[in-house]
Amino acid sequence: MNVPLHNKITIDTYMTPLDHPEFAGHEQIVFATDNETGLKAIIAVHNTNRGPGLGGCRMWNYASANEALTDVLRLSKGMTYKNALADLALGGGKSVIIANPRTDKTPELLRAFGRHINRLSGSYITAEDVGISSDDMEIIGSETQFARGTDATGFGDPSPYTALGTFVGIKAAAKHKFGSEDLSGLTVSLKGLGHVGYDVARQLHEAGANLIVSDIYDPAVTCAIEELGASSVSPDDAHLVKADIFAPCALGGGLNAATIPELKVAVVAGAANNQLETQEDGAALMKRGILYAPDYAINAGGVISVALGEPGASDSIVRQKTLAIGGTLAQIFDRADAEKRPTNIIADELAEERFQHHHNPA
């Protein structure tokens, strides 16, 4: 068959998910669409050695499908490490819906997504993430039993537990770096005031920290100024301000070769996923003397609540395991100091010890 030159160029340069630089031996990658509702989604299951791949669904107005694929591949791998480090009998997965959550979200689209989840027969279990609320999960859960974080499957909204674990992790980082977990008088630059970020900001305020906040959603910033006595900067400047702690609580990839040299903090500890653009960025932080709390260790509270918050479960058990995040981070910090290696590498090794050679009989 004779192929026109412009088509041949397209074919020769086309990248499959298997060729993607973020592909890391993922077990399953599914592209899901629905013409009637406009649904365009990607579901990625990274590893199921310890159990089904559990991870939230993110709804975001990605600039391209490739950008969405990059995000879901990184996020799903991160969930494998997060669930293993939290010692849960679960693997890692993630999903993204390519749409604007403020303008494109409809019940019909969410139900269509739920039907796609159901077709995977339990290899992937979804929950909420950026752009998806607990109410949205109720709609998704009406079409599939493989949805968590709903009233029918546990404690509902997991974001308070994510925020609690992040706050506990910030205190653990402060204790390691400054010698005390007392946050009063410390200045925290917090980027991202969504469900999790705002709750973290509230707890920091109650602990006596001074807040500098930023978010792309101006009403959230206004609330933080009025309710928490915060000052504000633009999201682009959040990492530039002089503070004791930088708490990224928005999207990932913000710590990289361009931003790390600009940091004026002693600690980076926040709830955002995939904060490091590359593994080498952890070494760059260490070289600058900045203590980094590995993201999937500090933000595991939400997935703990989703995993353990079955109907009839005790909230105290979930809170106890979430509070243990502080101890996990202390272990990572101490080992990193002793071995003079980056905290992200230490966290990875601890997680890999738990999932690489573990196979769920189911």
Characterize 104-142 residue by residue with b for buried, 16 or more Cβ atoms within 10 angstroms of its Cβ, and e for exposed.
bbeeebbbbbbebbeebeebbbbbbbbbbbbebbbbbbe
Give me the catalytic one of 40, 94, 171, 321: 94
Q: What is the pTM of this model?
A: 0.81
Apex 270 CA angle, 268 and 274, nearest 5: 95
Catalytic residue list contains 242: no
Q: Split the chain (362 residues) into runs of 10 and give each run's mean pLDDT.
A: 39 72 95 98 97 96 94 94 93 98 97 98 92 92 90 76 97 98 98 96 98 97 98 97 97 91 98 92 98 96 86 82 96 98 97 79 40
C-alpha to C-alpha distance for 116 and 327, rounded to whole angstroms: 38
The CA R_g of the chain, rounded to the nearest whole Å, is 20
Long-range contacts of 17-26 (CB under 8 A, 24+ apart): 17/69, 17/73, 20/69, 20/70, 20/73, 22/69, 22/70, 22/73, 22/74, 22/77, 23/73, 24/73, 24/77, 26/73, 26/76, 26/77
